Amino acid sequence: MNRIETVFSQLKSQNRAALIPFITAGDPDSATTVAIMHRLTQAGVDLIELGVPFSDPMADGPTIQRSSERALKHRISLKDVFSMVAEFRKSNQSTPVVLMGYANPVEAMGYRNFIQEASQAGVDGVLVVDYPPEESAEWVRNLKEQNIDPIFLLSPTTPESRIKHVAELASGYVYYVSLKGVTGASHLDLHEVGNKVSQLRSHIRIPIGVGFGIRDEQTARSVAEQADAVVIGSRIVEEIEHSPAENLLANVGALVESLRRAIDAKSAL
């Protein structure tokens, strides 16, 4: 088993849901990003989604857009993102890292070169928002040859035909976008999320993570009762944005620890 499969297998045996934070690589800078990754693992996360900064992040709301802008001011490139993962791997060989981003940087590097460098750095999964599954067979095959999981997004409006296609291609986990709109929105209908996750399970055999609109402990716990993983991005990125440098790691750690406790309350039910 690779790292992602190992983590979800362990969590399933414990009746626990995964906590998956999203942060943007290079926000506020490269060294701090790696320190944040280590602090996240200390706070109890199970997997880290590391955003590749991009100038036109179409699926992201203002909070994550600003984090990309801050990273790009430091001229953070894909090579730098790989360097951050490699640095993290020097002392952490167990926490999976998934790169999340857009097609342009991957295409600029060449997807075969991208996959090779991702593998060498220690990346476990890749989610490219604007790679449609219907055109991703070769991409998926090359990823799997390097034991990297192709992660795909599904949304409330995804037709059943595409859900079935993703079920055939994806490995690791599937990321269900729990609302219509961009990251950071807050109009989350938990009843609808539960219904949709149940529908997805009729087609998808790998874990299902739910993200977008999860901003507090109660919502995180409610989602954990319905899904295999809880993905939280904008709320954590806000903490990074607004914390003074001397308190940043402590503040992010405290936030994530509170979310961890809330999610783990599910296993006690």
Task: Provide the annotated active-site residues.
Answer: 49, 60
DSSP-assigned beta bridge partners for residue 154: 176
Decide: 54 and 105 in contact? Cβ < 8 Å.
Answer: yes
**Spatial contact of 231 and 49, defined as CB atoms under 8 Å apart:** yes
Task: Report residue 31 as tokens.
Answer: 């060294």
Q: What b-and-e string marks burial along 40-57, b requiring 16 or more CB atoms within 10 Å of the CB?
A: bbebebbbbbbbbbbeeb
Helix axes 217-224, 248-264, angle to 10 degrees: 40
Contact status, residue 130 vs residue 100, Cβ threshold 8 Å: no
Classify 18 as helix, strand or coil: strand
Q: How far apart are CA 83 and CA 238, in angstroms?
A: 24
- Please state, in angstroms and rounded to a whole number, the distance separating the CA atoms of residues 23 and 40: 10
